[in-house]
């Protein structure tokens, strides 16, 4: 499944709020990998919700945060990745931001979904990072 870009982010809030992560280009957000939940509603009922059981509630949990009950278990679709996964940051001097972002725009337009890439400034270090 897609975990957080920051891998220490809690799985519950991450999934209930969406869930941006390194596998999202290929496998969607964390919530796209959610198959079912068990949750406790405000009136104390324990329910299973999925595309087949309480589908409206299931839809609402996928992005609706903690507004619809306390989720006590999550069932996820898993995907094989690897055997080699490459990642990292490349920092460029901020003065090169224009060239770098034009290059980034051109190269990413044709990348397959196996790649998840971001570009943005790192204000403290005065650099632009990919
Ligand atoms: C340092 C940092 C890095 C982050 N990185 C990413 C990232 O890479 N990708 C991304 O998508 N987001 C990221 N986020 C945002 C993060 O996904 C959200 O803040 C998320 O809500 C955190 O979930 P939590 O369970 O850790 O937090 P909490 O603050 O415990 O929960 C957030 C909300 O979800 C509710 N909630 C938590 N658990 C349950 C449950 N079991 N049932 C019902 N409601 C529940 C809480 O009541 C609260 O409203 C990051 C946030 C921080 C601070």
Query: Model pTM?
Result: 0.88
Query: Sorting pLDDT into bands at 50, 70 and 90, what band is 117?
Result: very high
Assigned CATH for 11-76: 3.30.465.10
> How high is the mean pLDDT of the chain?
93
Decide: 127 and 91 in contact? Cβ < 8 Å. Answer: yes
**pLDDT value at residue 83:** 94
Dist CA 127 CA 114 (whole Å): 26
Say what the pLDDT of residue 125 is.
73
Per-residue pLDDT at 124 exceeds 80: no
pLDDT tens digits for 80-109?
Answer: 999 999 999 999 999 999 999 999 999 999
Nearest CA to ligand 1 atom 15: 14
What's the confidence (pLDDT) of residue 126?
A: 87
Residue having the nearest C-alpha atom to atom 26 of ligand 1: 10
Q: Determine contact, residues 39/47, Cβ cutoff 8 Å.
A: yes
The one-character DSSP state at 102 is: H
Give residue-wise pLDDT tens across range 35-66: 999 999 999 999 999 999 999 999 999 998 88
DSSP assignments along 48-60, one per residue: EEESSSSHHHHHH
For ligand 1, whether the C-beta of 13 sits within 6 Å is: yes
Distance 107 CA to ligand 1 centre (A): 32
Domain definitions of the chain by residue range: 11-76, 91-129
* Cα 13 to averaged position of ligand 1 atoms, centre (Å): 3
Please indicate whether residue 40, judged by its CB atom, sits closer than 6 Å to ligand 1: no
User: What is the spatial distance between Cα 57 and Cα 67, in angstroms, rounded to a whole number?
Assistant: 11
The candidate with the shortest Cα–Cα distance to 117, out of 2, 3, 9, 5, is 5
Indicate if the pLDDT at residue 13 is higher than 80: yes
Ligand 1 pocket test: pick from 5, 11, 12, 61 the residue with the most ligand atoms within 8 Å of its Cβ.
12
Structural tokens at position 123: 């204000």
């Amino acid at each position: 499944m897609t975990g957080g870009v920051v891998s220490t982010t809690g799985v519950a809030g991450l999934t209930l709020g969406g869930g941006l992560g390194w596998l999202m280009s290929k496998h969607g957000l964390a919530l796209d990998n959610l198959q079912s939940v068990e949750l406790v509603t405000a009136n104390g009922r324990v329910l299973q919700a999925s595309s087949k059981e309480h589908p409206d509630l299931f839809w609402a949990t996928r992005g609706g945060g903690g507004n619809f009950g306390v989720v006590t278990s999550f069932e996820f679709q898993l995907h094989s990745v690897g055997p080699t996964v490459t990642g990292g940051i490349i920092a460029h001097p901020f003065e090169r931001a224009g060239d770098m972002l034009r290059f980034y725009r051109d190269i990413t337009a044709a990348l397959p979904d196996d790649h998840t890439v971001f570009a943005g400034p790192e204000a403290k270090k005065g650099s632009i990072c990919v």
